[in-house]
Amino acid sequence: MSKKKPVSNVPQPQPAKVQAAAPEVVSKVKENEPFTLFSFKGQALILALIGLIFYANTFSSSWAYDDLLVIKQNEYVMQGMSGIPKLLATDAFESYTRKQNEKANQLTGGRYRPLSMVTFAIEQTFFGSKDVAITDTSAVARKLVETANKKAEERIMHIRHVVNVLLYIFSAIVLLRFLRGTVFKKLPLAAFLTALIFVIHPIHTEVVANIKSRDEIMSLLFITLTLLSALDYFDTKNKKYLFYSCLYTLLALLSKEYGIVLVFLIPLTLYMFRDAKPKEAFGAVYIYFAPIALYGIMRMSSVVTGGEPNTDVMNNPYILASVPQKIATIVTVLLLYVKLLFFPHPLTSDYTFNQVPYVDFSSPLFWASLALHAGLVFMMIKWLKERHVLGYALATYFLYLGLVSNIVVNIGSPMGERLVYHSSLGFAMILGWALAQLYQKMSSEIAGKAVVGGLMLVLVGASGFKTITRNHDWSANKILFLKDAQTATNSVIANTNAGMACIEWADGETTDSAQKNWYRKAVKYLDKAISINNEYVVAHLNRGVCYVKLGDMEAAAADCDSVQKMFPDHPNGVFLAYLVSDYYNRLGLAAANQNNQPEAIKYYIKASYAWPSNADIMYNLAYAYCKTGEFQSAYATLQRALANKPDHAKCKELMNIVKAGLDQKHP
């Protein structure tokens, strides 16, 4: 019979305490410990190998979701290192929103997260290449240049994906060090299991596989480094550790706003794991207000806030909800997060309106969530008073979750998988501790290894399958969008994105019938999006393009008209406007050539509705009015044309003729 392991409540012999420079000595001992599966180096290697296995298939991935928005379409990133000053001095989406003619930030408080974008700019300098200019207008030459530019874009994206995975692995190893040396110092198995669960959790696929979400990885990495350095300073009073911890605090905040939780996490960590009294623990955090203040100054000088409150449900998810509905839905979302942490399926890139429907106080899910989280908060307070590690785990979970719950500030979406990246650490701590306790309570070491080892093998295998397959979904927009439309069936954005993916697939087809099949599929998705939110201009834009491709110009004109009413200055609106207006303008010219001016006027009017600022179309319409003697209508039309283009020579010339005609009619 195997020898039983001692249970956790039996006192164990303690080594003599090391006095001066204790952390230095301990660090040196750890560096010299044998390389085994139970050593820090051995466990770090395991985490690195599993991280590589789980995410190696992202190395060949392309752009996905917001990658284009924050990298390719960000002029400061594309400038390389010379664009870094601008990245540090502007809102994260400033370059994009300016090009989209948006007058203000769409989210409360803006988005100031420059550090990850600085890394994109550095990568652009060392690995990027400028687009080759198209000087030869022949079709063959143009195709060759476009292919070369696309390959260059793909190459640097592969490098960016490798960097994301390496940062993820490095952050897990730093996390392991923190867990082994602080949180689970007397229970190293729990430290390893926590780090392992964190690395393999499929809910992290969005963070790792989507380059834009590097800010999440860097944020947690620098928060963990801050805690390690703060503990070193508390132990040794060596000011270099104070400098490091303040620097890491600033870098954490520049990565993403989560760094603000350090105001609570640092004293909580000292209270829990250094037996500091509450007054002493909170007294140690005052120095960290210096980097926080510096970050605040940088943010306020870079992000424009204020103005009119956002009334678009796509960016203010509870704007259409009553107060009871808002409260009940926010509480219910907390339960949905718990469900995803325990059972991460299905996963989707979008939870915006109306994927998470409003509920009220009559919903059983609301009451279940309220009861569960009230119980967890009660146990957290109880365990914190007892300095039990589960209290720290729950506090970690709630501190991070509070920032993305829509309770403190509108985050622009009811929920998101990337938003629980930090909180999932608290979940992993609880599960890691529970499995380590199960191992200790088994009747023998062999039984413990069999049960816990078997559970972890199943967990790693299932998580690996889910992660690797989900990574494939994130490999390109046209794959991700169609996949997630099957999950987020009620989301406006998910259905719109699926329609855009169908358009992209259509563009790659070589036959007219195959292209039209994709356009018809696109229309179905876009119809669904518009049925949920008729004011979503992007859906109208793309559906209008599909109708043009399908030859249904009346339907295309209707969508074009909707775009003009909702967002007349939309930078992509001119593309649809050109397609529709050019079609009707040609019909008008054909009718005019047959001297059928009334028919020409009808078509010119439709063309002008599609593109009201096009002076050439207005000129054609005014000319047709002149031909039928409708000088007053011609005059009004030319006024609109010249208001948009005062130097339009033909309009000015025709205006003189019209004025003469009006003088003859009304001398």
Distance CA 462, CA 311 (A): 42
Q: What is the mean pLDDT of the chain?
A: 91
Buried b (16+ CB within 10 A) or exposed e, 488-497: beebbbbbbb
Predicted local confidence at residue 146, as pLDDT: 76
Highest mean pLDDT among 12-26, 59-73, 266-280: 266-280
pLDDT at 516 over 80: yes
pLDDT at 16 over 80: no
pLDDT at 506 over 80: yes
| Nearest C-alpha neighbor of 252 from the set 212, 292, 287 | 292
**Centroid of chain to Cα 217:** 12
Helices (H), 210-277: 214-236, 239-255, 262-273
Position 134 confidence tier, pLDDT thresholds 50, 70, 90: low
What's the token pair of residue 663? Answer: 């003088």
Tell me the per-residue pLDDT of 536-595, one tens digit each, with 9 for 90 and over. 999 999 999 999 999 999 999 999 999 999 998 888 899 999 999 999 999 999 999 999
Predicted local confidence at residue 662, as pLDDT: 82
pLDDT at 7 over 50: no
Position 101 confidence tier, pLDDT thresholds 50, 70, 90: low
Identify the structural domains of the chain with CATH numbers, from first to last: 35-59+164-304+313-470 (no CATH), 67-163 (no CATH), 481-571 (1.25.40.10), 595-665 (1.25.40.10)
pLDDT at 14 over 50: no
Tell me the per-residue pLDDT of 282-305, one tens digit each, with 9 for 90 and over. 999 999 999 999 999 999 999 876
Distance CA 321, CA 341 (A): 27
Place of tokens 């948006």: 102
| Nearest C-alpha neighbor of 321 from the set 391, 410, 426 | 410
- Mean pLDDT check: name the lowest of 82-91, 134-143, 230-239, 508-517: 134-143
Distance CA 356, CA 469 (A): 24
Distance CA 327, CA 329 (A): 6
Distance CA 394, CA 183 (A): 13
pTM above 0.85, yes or no: yes
Predicted local confidence at residue 216, as pLDDT: 98
H or E segment and range at residue 97:
helix 94-99
Distance CA 428, CA 417 (A): 15
Predicted local confidence at residue 660, as pLDDT: 87
Average pLDDT over residues 215-219: 98
Place of tokens 């039990």: 388
pLDDT at 26 over 90: no
Position 21 confidence tier, pLDDT thresholds 50, 70, 90: very low
Distance CA 275, CA 185 (A): 14
Predicted local confidence at residue 310, as pLDDT: 74
Buried b (16+ CB within 10 A) or exposed e, 374-385: eebeeebeebbe
Tell me the per-residue pLDDT of 173-189, one tens digit each, with 9 for 90 and over. 999 999 999 999 999 99
Given a contact cutoff of 8 angstroms between Cβ atoms, the answer to whether 107 and 412 are in contact is: yes
Distance CA 536, CA 497 (A): 12
Q: What is the DSSP string of 331-389?
A: HHHHHHHHHHHHS--S--S---TTSS----TT-HHHHHHHHHHHHHHHHHHHHHHTT-H
Position 97 confidence tier, pLDDT thresholds 50, 70, 90: confident
Predicted local confidence at residue 317, as pLDDT: 94
Position 145 confidence tier, pLDDT thresholds 50, 70, 90: confident
Given a contact cutoff of 8 angstroms between Cβ atoms, the answer to whether 96 and 508 are in contact is: no
Instruction: Enumerate residues 6+ apart whose C-beta is below 8 A from 602.
Output: 588
pLDDT at 56 over 60: yes
Average pLDDT over residues 413-429: 97
**Centroid of chain to Cα 634:** 50
